[in-house]
C-alpha cells in the first residue's frame, strides 16, 4: 500500500437538529460574530432569525452581512470584510451553500490582512497568517464539501477569472452539517450540488494524491450519491436521502481536502470565471460524459469500480468492459437527476470554445488527470460537450 499523509482539523457536528448548537460553537471562538449569507428569501427568513437568536442567547454580538451572490466576487468579499472590521468581528460564521461558506472564509482573510483576499490566492507568495479570523460553518447544500476544506473559491469579474485561496488556516474550526437545512433546496439546486459531490469523490479517487484513506471515503460517497441523489431530487423532504447526501458531501469534501480534483474541475472553474451565471455543478455535468469516454483507458480499474457502483448490472463484466461503459453509467445518473445538459444549453457561445479551453489549463488540476490533456484535446472535449453528448470521445 502506498504511504500517505492525512490532515483534517475541522470539528464536525453532524445530524438533524445540530443547528441548535450554533451559539455554543461560535462562542468558543469569539464573542463578536460576522454572519455571512445570501440575501434573505422566503425559505431562509426563519433560519436567519433562528441563527441570530441562538447566537445572542450564547452572548455573541452579531452583524449580518447578507450580500453574498452565487460564485461570490471580489467586491462581495470586500464589502463583507468592511462590515467585519466595522463590527470588530472576532469570528466569522458562514451560513449557506458553497458561495456563502467560501465568502465567509475569504472575508476572514481580508478582514484581518492588508490588501484584498485576491492577493492571497493559492499560488501567491503572500499567504494568510494566524491573524485570519476563526471560521465556523453551517452548510445548507450537499455539494461543495467546503465545510471541511481549506479552500475558498472566489471570482474576479474584472479579470474574468475564478480562482481559490488554499491554506490550512481556512479550515473551519467547527462545521455544523444539519440535513434538515437542505430540505428547502429545490430539485435543480439539489441535482447540481449533488453532482458536485459525485465529481469530488470521483476526481479524488482518480487523483494521484489519493490514498487508501481517501479511497475509502470516496467509494462510500459514490455509493451514497448513486443510491440517494435521485431520491433527494425526486422528493426534497426525503430526510433519509438528504442525510445520506449530507454525509456523502462531507466525505467527498474530506477527500478533496487531502487528495484533490482533476480536469473536469479545471474546466468547471474556467467556465464560471468566464460565465458566472453557470452553476458549478451544471458546468461539471456538461463536460463529464465526454470526459469519461476520453479518459477511461488511462485508469481502467478505477473507472470500472465507479461504473459498477453506478450500474450494478456491470458487475459481471471485466474491468476493461465495465470501464468502457462508465460514460453510459454517468449519462444515466445525469438523466435521472434531470441534469443532462450541454455547453450550448448553458449559453456558452460556440465561438468561445477555444478561449474556454485555454482558461481550463490555467489552474493545475488538469495535470493530475489520469490522461494529461493538450490544449487541442481540451478543445476537442469541449466541442464534443457542445451539443449532443458523444457516443465515443
User: Considering beta carbons, is residue 41 or 158 the nearer one to ligand NAD?
Assistant: 41
User: Considering beta carbons, is residue 27 or 243 the nearer one to ligand NAD?
Assistant: 243
Separation of alpha carbons 277 and 61, rounded Å: 35
Q: How far is the CB of 377 from ligand NAD (least distance, A)?
A: 24
Q: Measure the CA angle with vertex 39, ends 152 and 150; round to 5°.
A: 10
Separation of alpha carbons 286 and 98, rounded Å: 20
Q: How far is the CB of 383 from ligand NAD (least distance, A)?
A: 24
Residues sharing a CB contact under 8 Å with residue 291, sequence separation 6 or more, in sequence order? 263, 264, 381, 393
Q: How far is the CB of 256 from ligand NAD (least distance, A)?
A: 6
Residues sharing a CB contact under 8 Å with residue 219, sequence separation 6 or more, in sequence order? 201, 205, 305, 309
Separation of alpha carbons 50 and 20, rounded Å: 9
Supply the angle between the helices 263-274 and 375-384 in degrees, to the nearest 10: 70
User: Considering beta carbons, is residue 150 or 389 the nearer one to ligand NAD?
Assistant: 150
Closest Cα to residue 68, out of 99, 93, 94, 109? 99
Closest Cα to residue 265, out of 340, 368, 354, 117? 368
User: Considering beta carbons, is residue 10 or 27 the nearer one to ligand NAD?
Assistant: 10
Q: How far is the CB of 141 from ligand NAD (least distance, A)?
A: 4
Separation of alpha carbons 115 and 84, rounded Å: 15
Residue indicated by cell numbers 439539489: 190
Separation of alpha carbons 108 and 121, rounded Å: 14
User: Considering beta carbons, is residue 151 or 270 the nearer one to ligand NAD?
Assistant: 151
Asked if 37 and 96 touch (Cβ cutoff 8 Å), the reply is: yes
Asked if 275 and 162 touch (Cβ cutoff 8 Å), the reply is: no
Q: How far is the CB of 147 from ligand NAD (least distance, A)?
A: 9
Q: How far is the CB of 86 from ligand NAD (least distance, A)?
A: 25
Separation of alpha carbons 92 and 77, rounded Å: 12
User: Considering beta carbons, is residue 38 or 299 the nearer one to ligand NAD?
Assistant: 38
User: Considering beta carbons, is residue 264 or 281 the nearer one to ligand NAD?
Assistant: 281
User: Considering beta carbons, is residue 120 or 296 the nearer one to ligand NAD?
Assistant: 120
User: Considering beta carbons, is residue 43 or 318 the nearer one to ligand NAD?
Assistant: 43
User: Considering beta carbons, is residue 175 or 342 the nearer one to ligand NAD?
Assistant: 175
What are the phi and psi torsion angles at 11 (to 5°)? -80, 125
* CA 84 remoteness from chain centre: 25
Q: How far is the CB of 62 from ligand NAD (least distance, A)?
A: 20
Query: Which residues are bridge partners to 92 per DSSP?
Result: 34, 135
Residue indicated by cell numbers 448513486: 226
Q: How far is the CB of 300 from ligand NAD (least distance, A)?
A: 27
Sites of contact with ligand NAD (CB under 6 A):
38, 43, 70-71, 96-100, 102, 140-141, 143-146, 149, 151-153, 181-182, 184-185, 189, 193, 196, 280-281
Q: How far is the CB of 137 from ligand NAD (least distance, A)?
A: 10
Strands 135-139 and 174-177: parallel
Q: How far is the CB of 268 from ligand NAD (least distance, A)?
A: 8
Asked if 282 and 334 touch (Cβ cutoff 8 Å), the reply is: no
Amino acid at each position: 500500500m502506498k504511504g500517505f499523509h492525512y490532515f483534517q482539523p475541522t470539528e464536525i457536528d453532524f445530524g438533524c437538529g445540530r443547528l441548535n448548537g450554533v451559539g455554543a460553537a461560535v462562542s468558543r471562538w469569539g464573542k463578536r460574530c460576522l454572519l455571512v449569507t445570501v440575501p434573505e428569501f422566503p425559505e431562509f427568513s426563519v433560519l436567519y432569525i433562528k441563527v441570530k437568536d441562538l447566537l445572542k442567547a450564547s452572548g455573541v454580538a452579531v452583524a449580518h452581512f447578507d450580500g453574498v451572490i452565487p460564485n461570490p466576487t471580489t467586491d462581495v468579499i470586500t464589502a463583507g470584510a468592511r462590515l467585519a472590521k466595522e463590527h470588530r468581528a472576532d469570528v466569522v460564521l458562514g451560513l449557506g451553500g458553497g458561495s456563502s461558506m467560501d465568502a465567509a472564509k475569504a472575508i476572514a482573510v481580508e478582514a484581518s490582512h492588508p490588501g484584498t483576499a485576491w492577493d492571497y490566492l493559492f499560488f501567491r507568495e503572500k499567504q494568510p497568517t494566524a491573524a485570519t479570523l476563526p471560521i465556523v460553518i453551517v452548510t445548507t447544500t450537499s455539494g461543495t464539501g467546503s465545510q471541511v476544506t481549506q479552500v475558498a473559491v472566489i471570482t474576479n469579474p474584472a479579470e474574468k477569472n475564478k480562482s481559490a485561496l488554499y491554506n490550512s488556516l481556512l479550515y473551519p474550526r467547527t462545521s455544523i452539517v444539519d440535513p434538515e437545512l437542505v430540505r428547502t433546496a429545490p430539485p435543480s439546486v439539489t441535482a447540481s450540488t449533488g453532482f458536485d459531490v459525485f465529481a469530488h469523490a470521483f476526481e479524488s479517487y482518480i487523483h494521484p494524491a489519493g490514498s487508501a484513506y481517501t479511497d475509502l471515503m470516496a467509494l462510500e460517497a459514490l455509493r451514497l450519491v448513486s443510491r440517494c441523489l435521485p431520491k433527494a431530487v425526486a422528493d426534497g423532504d426525503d430526510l433519509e436521502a438528504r442525510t445520506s447526501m449530507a454525509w456523502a458531501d462531507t466525505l467527498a469534501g474530506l477527500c478533496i481536502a487531502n487528495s484533490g480534483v482533476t480536469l473536469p474541475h479545471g474546466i468547471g472553474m474556467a467556465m464560471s470565471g468566464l460565465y458566472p451565471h453557470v452553476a458549478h455543478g451544471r458546468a461539471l455535468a456538461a463536460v463529464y460524459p465526454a470526459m469519461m469516454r476520453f479518459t477511461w483507458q488511462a485508469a481502467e480499474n478505477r473507472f470500472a469500480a465507479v461504473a459498477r457502483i453506478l450500474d450494478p448490472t456491470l458487475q459481471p463484466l471485466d474491468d476493461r468492459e465495465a470501464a468502457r461503459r462508465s460514460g453510459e453509467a454517468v449519462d444515466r445518473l445525469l438523466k435521472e437527476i434531470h441534469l443532462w445538459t450541454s455547453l450550448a444549453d448553458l449559453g456558452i457561445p460556440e465561438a468561445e470554445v477555444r478561449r474556454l479551453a485555454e482558461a481550463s489549463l490555467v489552474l493545475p488540476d488538469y495535470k493530475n488527470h489520469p490522461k494529461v490533456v493538450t490544449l487541442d484535446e481540451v478543445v476537442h472535449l469541449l466541442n464534443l460537450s457542445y451539443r449532443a453528448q458523444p457516443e465515443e470521445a
